[in-house]
Amino acid sequence: LGEIINVKDIVEKRKILIKERIERLKREEGITPKLAVIIANSEESSRVYVGRKRKMCESLGILEEEYEFSEKITTEDVLKEIERLNNYDTVNGILVQLPLFKHLDTSKILKAVSPTKDVDGFHPENFGNLIQGNGKIAPCTPKGVMTILKEIGVDVEGKDAVVVGRSVIVGRPMAAMLTNEGATVTICHSKTKDLISHTKRADILIVAVGVPHLIKENMVKENSIVIDVGINKVDGKLVGDVDTKNVIKIAKSVTPVPGGVGLTTVHTLMENLIDLTETL
Ligand code: NDP
pLDDT at residue 198, rounded to an integer: 98
Centre of ligand 1 from the C-alpha of residue 28, in Å = 42
pLDDT tens-digit map of 128-158: 999 999 988 999 999 999 999 999 999 999 9
The Cα–Cα gap between 157 and 179 comes to 9
Q: Is the CB of 167 under 6 A from ligand 1?
A: yes
pLDDT tens-digit map of 50-106: 999 999 999 999 999 999 999 999 999 999 999 999 999 999 999 999 999 999 999
> Average pLDDT, stretch 160-168?
98
Does residue 279 surpass a pLDDT of 90?
Answer: no
The Cα–Cα gap between 128 and 36 comes to 24
Report how far Cα 4 is from the mean position of its chain's Cα atoms: 20
pLDDT at residue 196, rounded to an integer: 98
Q: DSSP code of 206?
A: E
pLDDT at residue 53, rounded to an integer: 96
Share of the chain above pLDDT 70, in %: 100
- Ligand 1 atom nearest the C-alpha of 265 is 40
The HSE-up count of residue 56 (CA atoms within 13 Å, CB side) is: 24
Question: Does the annotation mark 53 as catalytic?
Answer: yes
> Average pLDDT, stretch 24-29?
97
Substitution candidate for ligand 1 out of 10, 43, 106, 190 with most atoms within 8 A of CB: 190
Centre of ligand 1 from the C-alpha of residue 91, in Å = 31
The Cα–Cα gap between 92 and 232 comes to 32
Centre of ligand 1 from the C-alpha of residue 170, in Å = 8
Substitution candidate for ligand 1 out of 191, 209, 213, 241 with most atoms within 8 A of CB: 209
The Cα–Cα gap between 167 and 220 comes to 22
Q: Are 201 and 224 in contact (CB under 8 A)?
A: no
Does residue 197 surpass a pLDDT of 90?
Answer: yes
Backbone angles phi, psi at 36, to 5 degrees: -105, 130
The Cα–Cα gap between 267 and 53 comes to 8
Centre of ligand 1 from the C-alpha of residue 107, in Å = 19
Q: DSSP code of 213?
A: T
Q: Is the CB of 240 under 6 A from ligand 1?
A: no
Question: Does the annotation mark 120 as catalytic?
Answer: yes
pLDDT at residue 280, rounded to an integer: 72
Centre of ligand 1 from the C-alpha of residue 207, in Å = 8
pTM for the model stands at 0.96
Nearest residue to 241 via CA among 252, 222, 256: 256
Please report which confidence band the pLDDT of residue 257 belongs to, taking 50, 70 and 90 as the band edges.
very high
The Cα–Cα gap between 65 and 45 comes to 19
Q: Is the CB of 7 under 6 A from ligand 1?
A: no
Q: Is the CB of 42 under 6 A from ligand 1?
A: no
Q: Are 216 and 185 in contact (CB under 8 A)?
A: no
What is the overall mean pLDDT for the chain? 97
Q: Is the CB of 190 under 6 A from ligand 1?
A: yes
One DSSP character per residue, 157-188 reads TT-EEEEE---TTTHHHHHHHHHHTT-EEEEE
